[in-house]
Amino acid sequence: MPRPSSRALFGALASATLLAASLPSHAANELTLYTTREPGLIQPLLAAFTAQTQIQVNTVFVKDGLLERVKAEGARSPADVLMTVDVGNLLDLVEGGVTQPVKSAALESAIPANLRGADGQWFSLSMRARVLYAEKGLPLRSFRYEDLADPKYKNKVCIRAGQHPYNTALIAALIAHDGEAKTEQWLRGVKDNLARKATGGDRDVARDILGGICDIGIANTYYVGQMKSAKEGSDARKWGDAIKVIKPTFANEKSGGTHVNVSGASVAKHAPNRANAVKLLEFLVSEPAQNMYAQANYEHPVRKGVALDPIVAQSIGELKIDPLPLTEIAKHRKQASALVDKVGFDR
């Protein structure tokens, strides 16, 4: 057979090169994570994942505008996994069309059905409850969220801004349980009971209880671990030692659980490393990773049977969570935000 000419060989090589250049080039041992969560909080988990799988995680911290960024990048986006610190922003990603469904037995067996999307578009990775911080001497053993509006707590309640996602999620849960009209009445009652303007952060609730400004307030569970693990004699330690934690429920007897929010993640719609993305999510709900969530961040694991951090176990204990699906609560977020403005809660 005649040997191909050098020109023919060159042409074939050029065609192959052009074809290769037109295809996306991604290393098989990496993935890109877009996260609204401070990278330092999850870096130990990512390092453990890399050590176990040899898959390198390229982390991109996106403080604001995650949905807008991924939309603008379109099919060219390098994002494989999208992670948020609350379910509201996570569901915004799903509704915005920048995620894709995942079918995984490992994820479905580890995460309760009410803490993940029925279609596999999103998954909870850790939980934090919205609980009551109370002055240690108060004779309180149980509490309902609706009790925050009781006139007996006039000038005794501290809370961060109503428009903060942690609080709009709680207000949305109250709408889901009690209806919009009752929730508006409740919100007005809470505003009347405020000891100071609704502002600051969750730890400021404990600070102001210590300072005698208020007796009770609503805040997240993991701040308790942060404060009570702080250096002896530090301000944060004093704040944590000044409070006790009560896990409220809703007046609706069908609930019997405490409101939780979650950190969670989805696989990006155009994930160039989809298989690695799924591996990361499966790792994050594995028992070792869930232990790290509990020990490093003082959060409650979504996986059953994982031990809590000792401080959290002693101060808070296991959660009996509100069984209402987070998707049902999230439907009312816009109503909740509108109510906060309507009653002038943050003014």
For residue 132, give the 3-state DSSP assignment.
Answer: strand
The residue among 235, 231, 296, 281 whose CA lies nearest residue 110 is 281
Q: Is 293 annotated as a binding residue?
A: no
| 248 alpha carbon, distance to own chain's centre | 19
Report whether 223 belongs to an annotated binding site.
yes
Distance CA 81, CA 319 (A): 28
DSSP conformation class of 3 = P
Q: How far is the C-alpha of 131 from the C-alpha of 225, rounded, in Å?
A: 13
How many beta carbons lie within 10 A of that of residue 165, not counting itself?
A: 17
Partners of residue 31 on adjacent β-strands: 57
For residue 341, the surrounding DSSP H or E stretch is helix 333-342
Which long-range contacts (C-beta less than 8 Å, at least 24 apart) are formed by 178-183? 178/146, 178/250, 178/251, 178/252, 180/332, 180/335, 180/339, 183/336, 183/339
Longest Cα–Cα distance in the chain? 100
Where is the binding site, in residues?
Answer: 222-223
Binding residues for Fe cation: 222-223
